[in-house]
């Protein structure tokens, strides 16, 4: 399978502080990559690099073999833990947003046939994520799980090459989270997606992923902990996934910052 995203010896530094070092890996097309690691190990920084929100200080990132511009673009979709949808638009208008931006450069609003097609497409997308009955609801009227479904639909309609998920289910109740797991796996298969998902939940990582990356620091200098960056210390391809019904296990250690790598130098 071909690689969609390629990281070649990527470093991310803020002045003295090294966040990521020597990250070299490729993301294969149609893979579902889970990223785990302790807080401050650069998981979210890694995602921001893939998103183009930040540029690496060394090395390069390729998208389909071409250098990634240091700006977010429609070839990468994203769902954050919160604030991913526009509060002033109904569910339908939220999903139509990408079509409207692409279809009308100046007004960002569609009319006539183009508008009808966009509405049809957005309605179908919303039905697919289970929001067929809430087309005209505003995000504030939707529950947390429904808002995340909306955010996913909104991202998918732009047909991104890579879908980036930043702890998308972290704020949801366990029962809702199971439903969301089923949904994202179904969409991943039906839309032939390539997914990068950052999560704090190890069970979730092994349930959903075809590959799990664990980010952490290889070495720690106790006197200058900020001088070593994190990288992918484990890269596990998964042949068999955990069954979806696996109960939630609380592994508290994963989020506890024992090596104080949040050091602000």
Partner 1 sequence: MRWVNVRPNPRSAILLGALPLLIALVVYCFASAARHAANPADKVLPTPAAMMDAMHGLLVDTDPLSGQLIFWADTAASLERLGLGLGICALSALLVGMVLGALPAARATFGALVTTVAVIPPIALLPILFIVFGLGETAKVALIVIGVTPFLIRDLADHVAALPREQIIKAQTLGASSWQLALRVALPQALPRLIAGLRLSLGPAWVYLISAEAIASDIGLGYRIFLVRRYLSMDIIIPYVAWISLLAIVMDVALLQLSRRAFAWAHQDHR
Q: Rounded to an integer, what distance in angstroms lies between the CA atom of residue 40 and that of residue 26?
A: 22
Q: Quickly tell me which residue has 């952490």 as its tokens.
A: 216
Helix boundaries (H) for the chain: 43-51, 91-103, 112-128, 144-156, 174-190, 202-208
Name which of residues 33 to 62 contact partner 1 (CB under 8 A).
51, 53
Q: Is 86 near partner 1 (CB under 8 A)? A: yes
Joined together, the tokens standing for residue 29 give: 């097309």
- Report the residue from 77, 145, 168, 229 that binds partner 1 according to the rule CB under 8 A: 77
Q: Is 209 near partner 1 (CB under 8 A)? A: no
Q: Is 106 near partner 1 (CB under 8 A)? A: yes
Q: Is 13 near partner 1 (CB under 8 A)? A: no
Indicate the residue among 97 and 188 with the shorter CB distance to partner 1.
97
- Report the residue from 45, 134, 154, 194 that binds partner 1 according to the rule CB under 8 A: 154
Element (H, E) at 78: strand 76-79
Of 128, 119, 182, the C-alpha closest to 156 is 128
Indicate the residue among 74 and 132 with the shorter CB distance to partner 1.
74
Q: Rounded to an integer, what distance in angstroms lies between the CA atom of residue 50 and that of residue 261?
A: 22
3-state secondary structure of 24: strand
Indicate the residue among 137 and 220 with the shorter CB distance to partner 1.
137
Q: Rounded to an integer, what distance in angstroms lies between the CA atom of residue 63 and that of residue 227?
A: 29
Q: Is 70 near partner 1 (CB under 8 A)? A: no
Indicate the residue among 106 and 250 with the shorter CB distance to partner 1.
106
Question: Dihedral of CA 206/211/217/218: which sign?
Answer: positive
Q: Select the span of 29-37, 59-67, 69-77, 192-200 touching partner 1 (CB under 8 A).
A: 69-77
Q: Is 191 near partner 1 (CB under 8 A)? A: no
- Report the residue from 33, 153, 155, 205 that binds partner 1 according to the rule CB under 8 A: 155
Q: Is 260 near partner 1 (CB under 8 A)? A: no
Report whether 213 contacts 25 (CB < 8 A). Answer: yes
Indicate the residue among 198 and 202 with the shorter CB distance to partner 1.
198
- Torsion angles phi and psi, residue 155, rounded to 5: -75, -40
Residues engaged in binding partner 1 (CB under 8 A) = 51, 53, 71-74, 76-78, 80, 82-89, 97-98, 100-102, 105-108, 138, 140-141, 151, 154-155, 158, 160
């Amino acid at each position: 399978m071909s690689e969609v995203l390629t990281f070649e010896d990527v470093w991310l530094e803020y002045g003295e502080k090294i966040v990521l070092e020597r990250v070299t890996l490729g993301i294969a097309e149609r893979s579902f990559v889970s990223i785990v690691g302790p807080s401050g190990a650069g998981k979210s920084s890694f995602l921001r690099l893939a998103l183009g929100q930040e540029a690496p200080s060394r090395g390069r990132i390729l998208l389909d073999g071409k250098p990634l511009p240091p700006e977010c673009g429609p070839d990468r979709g994203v769902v954050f833990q919160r604030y991913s949808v526009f509060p002033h638009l109904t569910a339908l208008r939220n999903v139509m947003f990408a079509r409207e931006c692409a279809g009308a450069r100046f007004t960002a609003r569609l009319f006539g046939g183009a508008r009808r097609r966009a509405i049809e497409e957005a309605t179908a997308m919303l039905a697919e994520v289970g929001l067929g009955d809430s087309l005209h609801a505003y995000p504030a009227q939707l529950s947390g799980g429904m808002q995340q479904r909306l955010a996913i639909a909104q991202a998918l309609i732009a047909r991104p090459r890579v879908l980036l998920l930043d702890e998308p289910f972290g704020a949801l109740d366990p029962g809702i989270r199971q439903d969301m797991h089923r949904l994202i796996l179904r969409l991943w298969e039906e839309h032939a997606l390539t997914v990068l998902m950052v999560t704090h939940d190890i069970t979730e990582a092994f349930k959903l992923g075809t590959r799990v990356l664990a980010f952490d620091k290889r070495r720690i200098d106790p006197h200058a902990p900020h001088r070593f960056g994190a990288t992918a210390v484990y890269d596990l391809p998964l042949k068999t996934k955990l069954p979806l019904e696996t109960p939630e296990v609380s592994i508290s250690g994963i989020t506890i910052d024992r090596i104080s790598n949040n050091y602000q130098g």
